[in-house]
Amino acid sequence: MKIITTIAEVRAIVKEWRRAGETVGFVPTMGYLHEGHASLISRAVADNDHVVVSTFVNPTQFGPTEDLEAYPRDEARDAALCEGMGADIMFRPDPAEMYNNPKVSVVVNDMNEHLCGLSRPIHFHGVCTVVTKLFNIVTPDTAYFGEKDAQQLAIIRKMVQDLNMPLEIVGCPIVREADGLAKSSRNTYLSSTEREAALCLSRSIFYGQEQIKAGMRANDLEQAMKEIIAKEPLARIEYVKVVDALTMNDIEIIDRPVLIAVAVYIGKTRLIDNFSFDPKINTTPSKNK
């Protein structure tokens, strides 16, 4: 596996693969890789002749008071994981390689006005801009994203559709710790007391999955899930919402595929979790561990 820091080098290698008629899978990440990322890489390796993993911590998706500087980084560990999983390239450019006095970017419209977009107003513009740049550099046939960042996945699917990007987007299920906590690079910020407290997110998710199948209405579901989280003294709820899974709009009646998403601060650490539900299928994805 090659660790590459320049755009030109990635382009040159992908060009050779293309010349040989081989397929390219792409897994965009911000590094500090864990089993959630590994599940995406494993799927990409299974589906494609070649796989590129990017580990760029993208500054333009962090707000001014967010954790850009503190965000965990470990290049050697990331490289070992990528190589072990069978990736061909780990792309980790410096910010200066990716941004040279930019004046043009991608803007997300209505889908930004919900869930994480409300407290992180520039976040999805930054995500879509860097993902577009990465797609243009790697030119993948398929790109793999986690359902843990459900609003991100929905926005990227819509971006690919709206901007006619020539690739397929694959969503992969949430990977959890044995006790239910969704794996996240930001879990490393948690003290041991906070780590225990963070279980209120998955507890509310699992309760919600049961209740929605039993026919609980959207408002009652939000309320019941909030009550579970509120029992945890270290938790501060940002949102608990049932929204249309495609548009992220609020809904009252669960008559179409919905996303049930939560964002909660545990101390200073902001964590997210979610599940999807389609009333036609009347089933939720299994608790994937």
Here the tokens at position 63 are: 């707000």
- Read off the DSSP letter of residue 92: -
Using a CB cutoff of 8 Å and minimum separation of 24, what contacts does 211-215 make?
212/254, 212/260, 212/277, 212/284, 213/277, 213/282, 213/283, 213/284
What does each C-alpha distance from 208 to 114, 234, 241 come to in angstroms? Answer: 20, 21, 11
Q: Is 130 in the site for ligand PAF (CB under 6 A)?
A: yes
Ramachandran region of residue 176, left (φ > 0), alpha (ψ -120 to 50) or beta? beta
Selected binder of ligand PAF within 10, 14, 30, 90 (CB under 6 A): 30
Q: Is 146 in the site for ligand ATP (CB under 6 A)?
A: yes
Q: Which stretch binds ligand PAF (CB under 6 A): 12-20, 113-121, 125-133, 170-178?
A: 125-133
Alpha helices, DSSP H, located in the chain: 7-19, 35-47, 75-85, 95-98, 116-119, 123-138, 150-162, 192-197, 199-213, 218-230
Residue 183 interface partner, choices ligand BAL, ligand ATP, ligand PAF, none, CB cut-off 5-8 Å depending on type: ligand ATP
Q: Is 149 in the site for ligand BAL (CB under 6 A)?
A: yes
Kindly report the number of other CB atoms within 10 A of residue 168's CB atom. 13
- List the one residue out of 52, 42, 144 whose CA is nearest residue 89: 52
The catalytic position among 37, 50, 114, 123 is: 37
| Shortest-Cβ-distance residue relative to ligand BAL | 149
Residues 15-34 that bind ligand BAL (CB under 6 A): 30
Q: Could you give the string, one character per residue 38-77, with x where binding to ligand ATP holds by CB under 6 A and - elsewhere?
A: -xx-------------------------------------
Ramachandran region of residue 281, left (φ > 0), alpha (ψ -120 to 50) or beta? alpha
Half-sphere exposure of 160 (CA within 13 A, CB side): 21
Selected binder of ligand ATP within 130, 137, 138, 174 (CB under 6 A): 174
Is the Cβ of residue 150 or residue 216 nearer to ligand ATP in the bound state? Answer: 150
Q: Is 30 in the site for ligand ATP (CB under 6 A)?
A: yes
Selected binder of ligand BAL within 54, 61, 139, 202 (CB under 6 A): 61
What amino acid occupies position 87? Answer: A
Q: Is 91 in the site for ligand ATP (CB under 6 A)?
A: no
Q: Is 284 in the site for ligand BAL (CB under 6 A)?
A: no
Instruction: Answer yes or no: 50 catalytic.
Output: no
Q: Is 61 in the site for ligand PAF (CB under 6 A)?
A: yes
Residue positions forming the annotated binding site for beta-alanine: 61
- Summarize the annotated binding site as residue ranges: 30-37, 61, 146-149, 152, 175, 183-186
The residues assigned a catalytic role are 37
Binding-site annotation, residues for (R)-pantoate? 61, 152
